[in-house]
Amino acid sequence: MNHTLNIQHLPPSAIHSLMTHLPDYVKVALIEKATQLECSLEAAIEMAIASFLDSEAFSFEDCLLSQRLQESELVESPQRK
């Protein structure tokens, strides 16, 4: 099974939808972080998610999750044969 991950960024519509479901203190923290970093709310949320998945990542493009998935497939493949 091949995992194909397209590198995408969060669209504003997804952020708007997500923000309506977050607790107020999380919304405030994300808005403050975006202001502090002088970046969009989308970028701040993307950084938060990417850094959760890979502590060295700043964005989905930096996240090594896809590389790790490919490496795990290589390790698992010989065992399946």
pLDDT digits (tens, 9 = 90+) for 44-73: 998 888 888 888 888 777 777 666 666 776
pLDDT score recorded for residue 20: 94
- Total-model pTM: 0.64
Q: Is the pLDDT of residue 31 over 90?
A: yes
Nearest CA-CA partner of 60 in 9, 22, 11, 13: 9
Q: How far apart are CA 63 and CA 57, in angstroms?
A: 5
Structure confidence at residue 19 as a pLDDT band (50, 70, 90): very high
Question: What's the one-letter identity of residue 13?
Answer: S
pLDDT score recorded for residue 32: 96
